[in-house]
Structure 1
């Protein structure tokens, strides 16, 4: 109740102030000023509209009657931008409810021009002029050349390549680049299709990645080629580095049947970094040392610097402890039966 009374008192107070102002001599002066200001503005606008102006207008452009089996690989412009000149009074009508009908291009009318169709703006100038007032002068049409490229039956699968830069956070690394699908269909005239070996994505820039990334990425356009689909799924699996140490036995390679190798120590420690997802799958036998009989025989020493012949995939920063061993080549007695 108290709130309603306050609102009513405020309303009455404002009403009295407005009524008092409108009945005062000062309000009459303001109203007279506004009347003559609006009147003079109207005369000025009418006078200005009698002058000539150049303005830009937009007319829709449509390609029609495309036959089944034809694929438009490079679309024509969707609008024509025209510059016209006329009195302001005439031009005002174009902006107040005047709708242009689309300029239609009949596909079959231009089939004799090959797969890359180019239509000069002057070829459709009369059709544009027909939608303008008789007093309106057509100055220019943009684009000056309307072009499109189409293909009938030409297609092939091409792989998708990632373009960009992916930086992971410290201790993380990228394990793979997966596209879904990994290949897309490319439609183009045969002369263009022969040169298309793959398609790039639009540029992907990522920094500080510490978890698997899922993205939808558009393919980079190639003039005259249509890709289906033109967007693919991108998965960037990320793993974290961890360190592991294994004891790996040393064995000789290429030793005769009557010779054997003994090393001191017989096993060495191999420390390395590997992704957490592969930590448990790496085994000692995955590391093979290149200790060949021929190389040992050529050494003038009983010490050998260890070299790894093979390392499992995904392993990095490999360290061998110790990286040098003493060795002895022993003869094995052979017994005849």
Structure 2
């Protein structure tokens, strides 16, 4: 059984049966041919486009019988059909666009990481009655569990069903780029911010080394300028006369992780700056 011409905004709450079974009478040789060699074409039902509200559709049995007997031999007599009543229910709903979210546990191999999760499309339309639509903020994939990944994964995945809702499309392509971790070291200056005009910060050393993990594909694109090691004047005053500052990273670029600082602390002086008056 096939139902065709169903609009996107229609949800089948009770679908017609996927198949029907028929009982026939004929000569043994004809019946044997049905069993061994005969393949039947699907019986198609056209969706009633004139209906726009929640409805029950009862299928005209004459239309079904015509499609069945048209595929039987002239000598074959149709005795019974199961089920003998064909009907389905549907409802129409409003729609909105929601983002796609992955559900599952993905564990790359050691020293590898998932650089991104890309869906095509990255959002879908969901049709549902208002009381269901208001609760939906995303479309979630069916659960995917993978371990030991070392290469980019391209996967065709279905969305998890939500009772009373219909996603369009309900299947999509997913790409998981897998990258290899490596280490990189850069030297970053420690800079003072929000200092009075007559004050200046001196640190010893003036730069610290940052060693971090980064994917091979981003190794060249991340450099020292992408990190921020600013320290404010107020922050140093709160140290209560100490002359050592534990370096804190204020900003880390996307793609860098497990950052280590050497030395972890620097000596500092707040010097009186020469202010020229004109």
Unaligned runs of 5+ in 1: 1-60
What is the aligned partner in structure 2 of residue 115 from structure 1? 54
What is the aligned partner in structure 2 of residue 225 from structure 1? 165
What is the aligned partner in structure 1 of residue 274 from structure 2? 333
Cα displacement (A) at 1:81:
6.6
> TM-score, length-normalised on structure 2?
0.74
How far apart, in 2, do the equivalents of 1:78 and 1:71 lie? 21
Cα displacement (A) at 1:204:
1.7
Q: What RMSD, in angstroms, separates the aligned Cα atoms of the two structures?
A: 4.0
Cα displacement (A) at 1:263:
1.0
Determine which structure has more spread, i.e. the larger CA radius of gyration. 1
How far apart, in 2, do the equivalents of 1:141 and 1:232 lie? 35
Answer whether contact 2:189 2:206 (CA < 8 A) is retained: yes
**Residues 36-185 of structure 1 aligned to structure 2 (within 5 Å):** 72-74=10-12, 75-80=15-20, 114-115=53-54, 117=56, 132=79, 147-151=88-92, 154-185=94-125
How far apart, in 1, do the equivalents of 2:208 and 2:263 lie? 6
How far apart, in 1, do the equivalents of 2:3 and 2:216 lie? 56
Cα displacement (A) at 1:260:
0.5
Higher helix share: 1
Cα displacement (A) at 1:297:
2.0
Map Cα deviations across residues 64-84 of structure 1 (whole Å, 9 max, x no partner).
8x6x858543232223579x9
How far apart, in 1, do the equivalents of 2:21 and 2:128 lie? 28
* Change beyond 3 A, Cα 1:283–1:117: same
SS in 1 for 2:192: coil
Unaligned runs of 5+ in 2: 66-77
* Change beyond 3 A, Cα 1:275–1:116: farther
Higher RCO (C-alpha under 8 Å, 6+ residues apart): 2
SS in 2 for 1:79: coil
- Give the number of aligned pairs: 256
Higher strand share: 2
Cα displacement (A) at 1:245:
0.7
How far apart, in 1, do the equivalents of 2:203 and 2:43 lie? 87
Alignment partner of 2:250 out of 293, 300, 309: 309
What is the aligned partner in structure 2 of residue 264 from structure 1? 204
Answer whether contact 2:188 2:229 (CA < 8 A) is retained: no
How far apart, in 1, do the equivalents of 2:188 and 2:201 lie? 15
> TM-score, length-normalised on structure 1?
0.62
Cα displacement (A) at 1:220:
2.0
